[in-house]
Each structure stands twice: as C-alpha cells, then as structure tokens.
Amino acid sequence: MNVFAGGTDRQLAWEELQRRVESCSACGLCSTRKKAVFGQGNRSSPLVFVGEGPGADEDEQGIAFVGRAGKLLTRILQAVAIEREDVFITNVVKCRPPENRTPQTEEMMACNHFLEAQLALLRPKIVVCLGNTPAKWLIKTSEGISSLRGRWFPWRGIELFPMFHPSYLLRNESKKIGSPKDLTWHDINALRKRFDELTKGGPSS
Ligand code: SF4
C-alpha cells in the first residue's frame, strides 16, 4: 500500500501500518513484548513527539508514554497550554527492549520504516526528539542530548527539536539554573513559541 496516498487511502494506509506494527516480528523484541506500541494522539497535529521505546507500563497497555515519564510529559506540555490529545506521540522502536535497555542499532533499523511511514502520513511541522536515542537516530549525529537539546535541525521539510527525555528529568530533581529541569523549561517555551509561529503565521525566528 502506498503510504503517501491522500484522503481515504491515507486512512487505509494508516490502519494497515498499525496492523503491521502490531503483528511485526522483524526483530528480536517481538519475542519479549506483551503489546507493540504504535503510538497515539491527534493525527492532524503539527507536533509529533518521538521517544526511545515503550517501557513496562506502555508494554502492558499498548499505549505510548503512560507511565511516570508519560505523566511528567503531560505536565510539561500543559505548562505551555498544550494538551496531550493535541499532539501525536510514538517511539523509535515499537516494542519494549528488555529491562528498558537502549534499543540496539539493528532493532532501530528493523523498525525505522514504521516511524518513517508514520511521519510521512502525519506530515508534522515539528518533531520533538525525546532523549538521546531518537535525537541521535534521526539527526544522524554522535553528539549527545546535552548538546543537541534546545536546537533546531531541518529534516525533510520538518523541524527536529531535541529535548531531554522525561525519565531523565525524573532522575534529576534539581530545578537550579542550568539543571535539566531548568533547561527543559526553556526548551518547552521555545517549542511553544515556534509552534505558534508555524501554526498562527507569527514572525519566524
Ligand atoms: S521493535 Fe519494531 S521491528 Fe522490532 S518487532 Fe517490534 S515493531 Fe517489529
């Protein structure tokens, strides 16, 4: 099926894509997952969030970002008046890596066509890369999230914006100036500003 099709075909392509993810056995993660996590949210949103992979709660429920990190992400978004239901959220790999380890390169390569097809169908203006793995994977860099976060990267007509993963913020409670939480506060406000510029025709930076 042509995932770049329009109208009803796009809807059919989306449903077919979801079916393929849910029954996929293209990498070893299929043998330990409970549920593949396709992603969920507003498919018309200009804003897509991409995390690393499902955790235990997500694996159990088949829904992205429902655990503690997901709840923190919800609060971060709400701080700039964005509701979770208004964005689409997915991951680089759709099945949980055992013990929440970082996905291996072969696993990300096996799964990558699903993410690419999702982005082709969603056509967002901004993709927020949550943490090291999606940032490095999409930008194709060896730089880490500490240097990538808060910067804009053009990617196939989309703007990539890396931010710290909320699970990293849960492990770093400090709110001092320059702390991950403080930097995330700056980043989410920069994201909100750019989002408004792109969607409401404001001045571009
Ligand atoms: S992680 Fe991706 S490629 Fe691997 S089994 Fe799951 S859906 Fe398939």
**pLDDT tens profile 146-181:** 999 999 999 999 999 999 999 999 999 899 999 999
Q: Taking a C-beta distance cutoff of 8 angstroms, is the pair 89, 79 a contact?
A: no
In a domain, 2, yes or no: no
What pLDDT is recorded for position 152? 98
Q: Would you say residue 130 lies in a domain?
A: yes
Assigned domain for 1 exists: no
Tell which residue, 108, 117, 135, 150, has the closest CA to residue 49: 135
The reply to whether 13 falls in a domain is: yes
- Which residue from 106, 10, 97 is spatially nearest to 51, judged by alpha carbons? 97
Ligand 1 contact via 107 beta carbon (within 6 Å): yes
- CATH number for the domain spanning 41: value is 3.40.470.10
Q: Is 27 in the pocket of ligand 1 (CB under 6 A)?
A: yes
Among protein residues, the one whose CA lies closest to atom 6 of ligand 1: 95
Q: Is residue 182 situated within a structural domain?
A: yes
**pLDDT, tens digit (0-9, with 9 covering 90-100), for 178-196:** 999 999 999 999 999 999 9
Instruction: Look at residue 38 and tell me whether its pLDDT is greater than 80.
Output: yes
Does residue 65 sit within a domain? yes
193 within domain boundaries: yes
Residues 90/140, Cβ–Cβ less than 8 Å = no
Q: Which two tokens stand for residue 151?
A: 């910067």
Q: Is the CB of 73 under 6 A from ligand 1?
A: no
Report the pLDDT value the prediction gives residue 8, as an integer from 0 to 100. 81
Cβ atoms of 12 and 53 closer than 8 Å: no
Query: Which pLDDT does position 204 carry in this prediction?
Result: 43
* Largest separation between any pair of C-alpha atoms in the chain: 51
**Span from the CA of 189 to the centroid of ligand 1 (angstroms):** 33
Q: Which of 74, 33, 75 is nearest to 55 (CA)?
A: 33
Strands (E), 44-157: 47-51, 88-91, 126-130, 153-155
Tell whether ligand 1 has an atom less than 6 A from the beta carbon of residue 117: no
- Could you list the residue range(s) of the whole structural domain that residue 71 is in? 7-200
Using 50, 70 and 90 to split pLDDT, how confident is the model at 63?
very high
Number of independent structural domains in the chain: 1
